[in-house]
């Protein structure tokens, strides 16, 4: 009897252990430790100097740029028959089964497959008098240069519209466009140093390139209403060579381009006379003139 009772007791203990986890080792089963999730990279970039102004460019999106409407209405496909639907479903299931990995295959750890993400590059703050401008309603356009507070709270933005064309915008602090004018002088325009457009005393000078690579400068005055006035003269200020310069004369912008006949080129210096730019003198080829004292009318070719 004692032997029979001991056997029954042993069977009862084994049955209880099979229903509980951890009896084989004598400890409670614990889940495998998981690696802590790596913190996500912050999507917030270091703010630049000054807010970004969203500028909606006017009158540049024409109806012809919109995709043409289809001439005929699209024909809707006929609904599949029951037999075709069943065959399609069977093929989809078979394709899914072929593409699925075996059940015993384990996905590699994320740390083994995903390379460490590089930190996002921080945008550089605008330099000097530059302004953060983002364009809307102008596909293919890009900001070449800006200058804040040209007249009052109105700033300027030189915008390339593609194909060698450029426009000059006057922009308020809230992004509202007060004036726009095309820049007809030049077949190509580059971004000046620091992305800052040369502006002073309510006037801005735009540097361009002619089709043959020679430089050409043009000037525009920003009125109090926000409209631009072309003060470049009839043909702007073309240079006989690829050289030109905008000179700062104690806060007043002067324009320097080169003239050339049969011999060496000379620099011609233009300054603002109240209503227009006029030549004040010339200097020999070399560094661009830096002051009125460095030029003389006698050095001009004509």
Q: What is the DSSP string of 166-235?
A: EEEEEE-TTS-EEEEEE--S-SEE-PPGGGB-EEETTEEEEEEE-TTS-EEEEEEEE-TTS-EEE-S-SS
**Predicted local confidence at residue 51, as pLDDT:** 79
Rounded to 5 degrees, φ, ψ at 165 are: -110, 150
pLDDT at res. 146: 96
pLDDT in tens, the chain (302 residues): 444 444 444 444 444 444 434 433 333 333 344 443 333 322 222 233 567 888 888 865 433 333 333 333 333 444 444 444 445 444 544 444 444 444 444 444 444 444 444 444 444 444 458 889 999 988 899 999 999 999 999 999 999 998 889 999 999 989 999 999 999 999 999 899 899 999 999 999 999 999 999 999 999 999 989 999 999 998 999 999 999 999 999 999 999 999 999 999 999 999 999 999 999 999 999 999 999 999 999 999 97
Q: Are 264 and 285 in contact (CB under 8 A)?
A: yes
According to the model, what pLDDT value does residue 163 have? 82
Q: Residue 134 class from Cβ within 10 Å (0-12 exposed, 13-18 middle, 19+ buried)? A: exposed
Coil, strand or helix at 130: coil
Burial category of 158 from C-beta neighbours within 10 Å (exposed 0-12, middle 13-18, buried 19 and up): buried
pTM of this prediction exceeds 0.75: no
**pLDDT value at residue 119:** 41
Structure tokens that stand for 169 in this block? 């915008």
């Amino acid at each position: 009897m004692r032997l029979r009772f001991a056997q029954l007791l042993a069977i009862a203990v084994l049955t209880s252990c099979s229903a509980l986890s951890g009896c084989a080792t004598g400890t409670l089963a614990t889940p495998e430790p998981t690696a802590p999730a790596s913190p996500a990279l912050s999507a917030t970039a270091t703010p630049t100097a000054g807010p970004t102004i969203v500028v909606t460019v006017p009158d540049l999106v024409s109806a012809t740029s919109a995709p043409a409407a289809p001439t005929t209405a699209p024909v809707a496909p006929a609904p599949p028959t029951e037999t075709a639907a069943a065959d399609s479903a069977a093929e989809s299931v078979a394709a899914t089964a072929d593409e699925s990995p075996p059940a015993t295959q384990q996905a590699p750890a994320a740390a083994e497959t995903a390379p460490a993400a590089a930190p996002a590059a921080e945008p550089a703050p605008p330099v000097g008098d530059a302004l953060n401008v983002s364009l809307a309603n102008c596909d293919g356009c890009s900001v070449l240069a800006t200058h804040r507070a040209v007249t009052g709270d109105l700033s300027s933005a030189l915008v390339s519209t593609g194909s060698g064309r450029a426009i000059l915008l006057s922009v308020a602090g809230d992004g509202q466009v007060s004036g726009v004018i095309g820049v007809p002088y030049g077949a190509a325009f580059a971004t000046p140093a620091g992305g800052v457009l040369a502006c002073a005393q309510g006037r801005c000078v735009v540097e361009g390139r002619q089709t043959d690579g020679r430089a050409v400068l043009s000037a525009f005055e920003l009125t109090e209403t926000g409209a631009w006035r072309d003060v470049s003269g009839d043909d702007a200020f073309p240079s006989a060579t690829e050289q030109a310069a905008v000179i700062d004369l104690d806060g007043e912008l002067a324009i320097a381009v080169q003239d050339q006949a049969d011999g060496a080129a000379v620099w011609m210096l233009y300054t603002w006379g109240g209503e227009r730019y006029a030549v004040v003198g010339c200097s020999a080829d070399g560094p661009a003139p830096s002051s009125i004292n460095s030029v003389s009318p006698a050095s001009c070719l004509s």
